[in-house]
Amino acid sequence: MIFSGDDTIREVAWLSPEDEQRIMDFLQGAIYCYCNNRKGEWFSVREIMGGSNRDDWDKTPLGILYNQHIQNGKSHDEAWDLAGQEEGKLLKKAIKQDKRNFETKKEEQIRKYKWV
């Protein structure tokens, strides 16, 4: 649940309900792990799925996002950017559905969250 901050949800319209649920379940696990190990710290998509984690997306449900853009003729960099934006939308949706309370803010042009 988003306790304070913008809680507007934007959908990833092309994603099937089944694939969205797989991604949401995966993200919920990532949120839980991050919050359990880094209590009180702000996080974003970059912290939980960026950096060295980015190279392993194809082994997770997140690969669906990247592969869709590659199949639609996007370059590698364009596909990563678009998939990252979509993952951000889905992360926000997963956090809003979470029973715990989160704060959110926009900083450095990205959405950040903190478990409170």
The 10s digit of each residue's pLDDT in 61-108 is 999 999 999 999 999 999 989 999 999 999 999 999 999 999 999 998
- 45: in domain: yes
Domain that holds residue 63: 2-6+17-115
- pLDDT value at position 113? 93
Specify the number of domains making up the chain: 1
- 12: in domain: no
- DSSP letter string over 64-98? HHHHHHHHTT--HHHHHHHHHHHHHHHHHHHHHHS
Which string of b and e fits 91-113 if b means at least 16 CB within 10 Å? bbbbbeebeeebebeeeeeebbb
- 51: in domain: yes
CB contact set of 12 (below 8 Å; sequence gap of 6+): 20, 65, 86, 89, 90
- pLDDT value at position 56? 67
pLDDT tens-place string over residues 21-66: 999 999 999 999 999 999 889 999 888 887 666 666 777 899 999 9
- 30: in domain: yes
Distance CA 56, CA 2 (A): 29
Structure confidence at residue 115 as a pLDDT band (50, 70, 90): very high
- 34: in domain: yes
- pLDDT value at position 51? 66
- pLDDT value at position 43? 94
Tokens 């209590």 found at: 39
- 11: in domain: no
- 105: in domain: yes
Residues in the chain: 116
Mean pLDDT of 105-114: 90
- 81: in domain: yes
